Structure 1
Amino acid sequence: MIIIIGSGAGGSIIAMELALSNIPVTLIEKGPSIDMKNAFKCYDESDKGIDLLKTSCTGGSTTVAAGNGVRVLEEELKELGVSISKELDEVEKLLSIHEMDNEHFGKGSQKFMEIADELNLNPIKMPKFIRDNDCIPCGNCAFGCPRDAKWTSVDFVKIAIENGAKFLDNTEVIDIPIKNEKVKGVTIKKSNNKEEFIPSDTVILSAGAINSGILLQKIGLNAGKKLFIDPFVTIGGILRNIGFNKEVQMNGVVIGENYILAPHYSQFVANELKKQGAKDSDIFSIMVKIPDDSYGQIKDGKVIKENSIKDIRFITEGSAVAGSILVKSGVDPNSIVSTNLRGAHPGGTAAIGEVVDTNLQTEINGLYVSDASVLPKSPGAPPILTILALSKRLSKYLIDKLF
């Protein structure tokens, strides 16, 4: 039996692929199973000094993702001896990656595309894994889709279960016992605090960069360093009756050399602008996201993150461009405010070539890692497709190895 820890992008596709190949699988999820509309209730509390967005629930952070399907780090991984081009193609087909139709572009997204084009920023429609026919724009992409109109890892979990996988939610893995440099299974703690050992000679750690890093450190591996978080700010101002709060979020994108820009509604921006008399429907805002230097780490179970001078320069550069788009769109320049610096895609804590090999195996025989932990550097863009592709590649390797 293969044990998979975590039901997000990394763990769910492996569970599905192995179950479809009639390989016994136990998938373990720390968080609860939820109605998708309640995903926002599962955001984890951030450690002091850092604002980091991640969730603990079935489906992981895919439940609160904006449905963005972009290919990242393909060439960087190839340089490390990990080719995922074929798997990326397969994942794009699995998720039906596409640009949404024009009916799903509201006034705010249209203005973003038009003004960015006027400024020669070469905007493009964001590739999405949202089903157009099921999507009635409501602006809740990052809170959990109330109509279940986007792909999430829950889709793959369901297929895995239908094909024989055992699924344990509300179950935390607290240890990964090792003997003679070989994995022996996992120790779990259930919601009633009862501990139990589950034996296995193959364990796949897909609990996310933070939790995976903590578990790897606990068993003595040199993980949890070189953490990146893909920092971002959202900048917005008042544009009366724009109605952007009800649009599909991040439906367009500008890919700059040092940042990406995408139209994005933030409740933090809204709260500030309401002090100026704005309504939710009067707010237009843009996200600025950068690839940060890996100056973070996990220490004593806590996240510590510093920003380099380059990080600050990139955020400032992107923010200036975003401000220009807002003003040219008609936003009152005196109303413009910004969120604090936040993080959305933690990774790098068990990087390929440092903590895992090209087959994503650690120095412990039978212990693999397949989530954003293994990414070699910050993508500065949503990594879901790349994580799925890496996990699909690992599932092929395991199937070939076992059969």
Structure 2
Amino acid sequence: MIVIVGSGAGGSILARELALDGKPVTILEKGPYINSKDAFNYYDKYSEDVDLLTTTCIGGSTIVSMSNMVRALDDELLDYDIDLSEAYEYVEDLVGVHQLDDSHIGKGTQAFLDAGYELGLNTLKMPKAIREEDCIQCGKCAFGCPADAKWSGKDYVDEAVEAGATLICEADVKEVLIENGKAVAVKYVKDNKEEIINAEKVVLSAGAINSALILRNSGIDEAGRELFFDPFVTVGGYIKDINFNTEVQMAGLVIGENFVLSPHFSSFIRANIPDDDVTDKDILSIMVKTPDECKGYVTDDGDVVKINTIQDIRYLAEGTATAGFILEKAGVDPKTIGSTVYRGAHPGGSAKIGEIVDSNLETEINDLFVCDASVLPISPGKPPILTILALSKRLADYLKKE
């Protein structure tokens, strides 16, 4: 029995690949099984000092993601003898990664793209895993897709279950039980009752925070003593009747040396504009996302502490300034341009390759693996889902041979 903890990007494709290969698989998911359209109800809450976007439900944070699919950390992972080229090709074909058809590029996104090209920036359509034939272009990507038009980990969990895997939801995993240096079982709580499930192999895919806590409880105390997440702000302003709020979000991309920019609606921008006549349909805004220096950590209580370095702040300032140039070129009134508060997404680095896991993602405890953003050695500064999917495909192939 292979027990997989978590059903996000890492756990979902791993369960699918192993179940389709005939391996006995049990998936333990801390959150409930939900409809995608209800995902906005399952965002996690951390301390007031950190505004970090993660969810606890089937599919993990993929269910509220924009389904952005970009390759990341290719060269860095080669330093650990991890070549994902074949895995990337497999996964990209499997999830249908492509740039959106022009039919799903709205007026606001096109203004972003045109401005980026005019300014000579590295500008392109965002590669995504969205089915245009199902997409109703409502702008609610980050709330959970009401039309189930985008890929999420829930899709692959469903396929795994159809292939024979067992799914246990609302199972709060506490620790992995170890005998003679080997993982042999998983302890979890469901319905206020402690349960134990025996396992030949255990894979933690519970996210950078929860996987770190489980590792600590299982005897690997170094886990979670470092943590990165991609800092971001959204910068925007007034442009009458742009109707960007109803478009597919983050369908364009500008790649800078130290940041990425993507058109992303935030209703918080409207609060910066004193004119009462301004509505959500009059806002064009851009997400500014940067890598950070991995100076955060996870407390023993599961809270996240984030320390911002001078480099973190400098990168964010560079990206914000560039976003301002794009907005003005796109026709936004420069007097109205403002920013949201500093937030974070994509936590990772809490169980790094080369420190907590080896190149096969196995810990010092035999048959205990980690496969989620925890293992990324540095902050990618861009969406990590495709990289996690590729790492999981590689791990699935390894486990099939074991």
Name the TM tier (shorter chain). over 0.9
Q: Work out whether residues 225 and 348 of structure 1, in 8 Å CA contact, stay in contact via their aligned partners in 2.
A: no
Offset of 1:314 from its aligned partner?
0.5
1:31-78 per-position Cα deviation (integer Å, ceiling 9, x unaligned): 011111111111001223111000000001110111111000111101
Aligned to 1:319: 320
1:201-225 per-position Cα deviation (integer Å, ceiling 9, x unaligned): 3100000001001111122211102
How many residue pairs match? The answer is 400
Report percent identity of matched pairs: 55
1:195 aligns with 2:187: no
> How many angstroms apart in 2 are the aligned matches of 1:274 and 1:154?
41
Q: Under a length normalisation based on structure 2, what TM-score does the superposition of the two structures give?
A: 0.98
Secondary structure of 1:225's aligned partner: coil
Aligned to 2:170: 170
Aligned to 2:214: 215
Secondary structure of 1:258's aligned partner: coil
1:270 aligns with 2:267: no
Offset of 1:275 from its aligned partner?
6.4
Which amino acid counterpart does residue 173 of structure 2 have in structure 1? V
Aligned to 2:56: 56
> How many angstroms apart in 1 are the aligned matches of 2:289 and 2:383?
10
Alignment of 1:103-114 (within 5 A): 103-114=103-114
Offset of 1:370 from its aligned partner?
0.2
Alignment of 1:138-287 (within 5 A): 138-190=138-190, 192-221=191-220, 222-273=222-273, 276-287=276-287
Secondary structure of 2:52's aligned partner: coil
Offset of 1:132 from its aligned partner?
1.1
- Change in Cα spacing, 1:118 to 1:354, as seen in structure 2 (3 Å) is same
1:380 aligns with 2:381: yes
> How many angstroms apart in 2 are the aligned matches of 1:74 and 1:59?
25
- The range that moved more, 177-186 or 12-21, is 177-186
Which amino acid counterpart does residue 321 of structure 1 have in structure 2? T
Secondary structure of 1:4's aligned partner: strand
> How many angstroms apart in 2 are the aligned matches of 1:57 and 1:152?
12
Q: Under a length normalisation based on structure 1, what TM-score does the superposition of the two structures give?
A: 0.97
Offset of 1:274 from its aligned partner?
7.1
1:364-389 per-position Cα deviation (integer Å, ceiling 9, x unaligned): 01100000000000000000010011
Secondary structure of 1:183's aligned partner: strand
1:173-209 per-position Cα deviation (integer Å, ceiling 9, x unaligned): 112111221112111111x211111111310000000
> How many angstroms apart in 1 are the aligned matches of 2:66 and 2:204?
24
Which amino acid counterpart does residue 348 of structure 1 have in structure 2? G
1:92 aligns with 2:92: yes
> How many angstroms apart in 2 are the aligned matches of 1:277 and 1:225?
48
Which amino acid counterpart does residue 326 of structure 1 have in structure 2? L
- Change in Cα spacing, 1:204 to 1:264, as seen in structure 2 (3 Å) is same
1:67-101 per-position Cα deviation (integer Å, ceiling 9, x unaligned): 11100011110111111110011000001100111
Aligned to 1:345: 346
Offset of 1:270 from its aligned partner?
3.5
Which amino acid counterpart does residue 171 of structure 1 have in structure 2? A
Aligned to 2:303: 302
> How many angstroms apart in 2 are the aligned matches of 1:212 and 1:186?
13
Q: CA RMSD in A?
A: 1.1
Unaligned residue ranges in structure 1 (runs of 5+): none
> How many angstroms apart in 2 are the aligned matches of 1:376 and 1:161?
32
> How many angstroms apart in 2 are the aligned matches of 1:23 and 1:67?
28
Runs of 4+ in 1 over 6 A off after TM superposition: none
Offset of 1:153 from its aligned partner?
0.8
Which amino acid counterpart does residue 309 of structure 1 have in structure 2? I
- Change in Cα spacing, 1:259 to 1:43, as seen in structure 2 (3 Å) is same
Secondary structure of 1:346's aligned partner: strand
> How many angstroms apart in 1 are the aligned matches of 2:277 and 2:44?
31
Which amino acid counterpart does residue 176 of structure 1 have in structure 2? V
Which amino acid counterpart does residue 370 of structure 1 have in structure 2? C
Aligned to 2:27: 27
Secondary structure of 2:347's aligned partner: coil
> How many angstroms apart in 2 are the aligned matches of 1:275 and 1:51?
28
> How many angstroms apart in 2 are the aligned matches of 1:357 and 1:274?
54
Which amino acid counterpart does residue 148 of structure 2 have in structure 1? D
> How many angstroms apart in 2 are the aligned matches of 1:275 and 1:44?
33
Q: Work out whether residues 272 and 336 of structure 2, in 8 Å CA contact, stay in contact via their aligned partners in 1.
A: no
1:15-43 per-position Cα deviation (integer Å, ceiling 9, x unaligned): 11111111111001000111111111110
Unaligned residue ranges in structure 2 (runs of 5+): none
Q: Work out whether residues 46 and 303 of structure 2, in 8 Å CA contact, stay in contact via their aligned partners in 1.
A: no
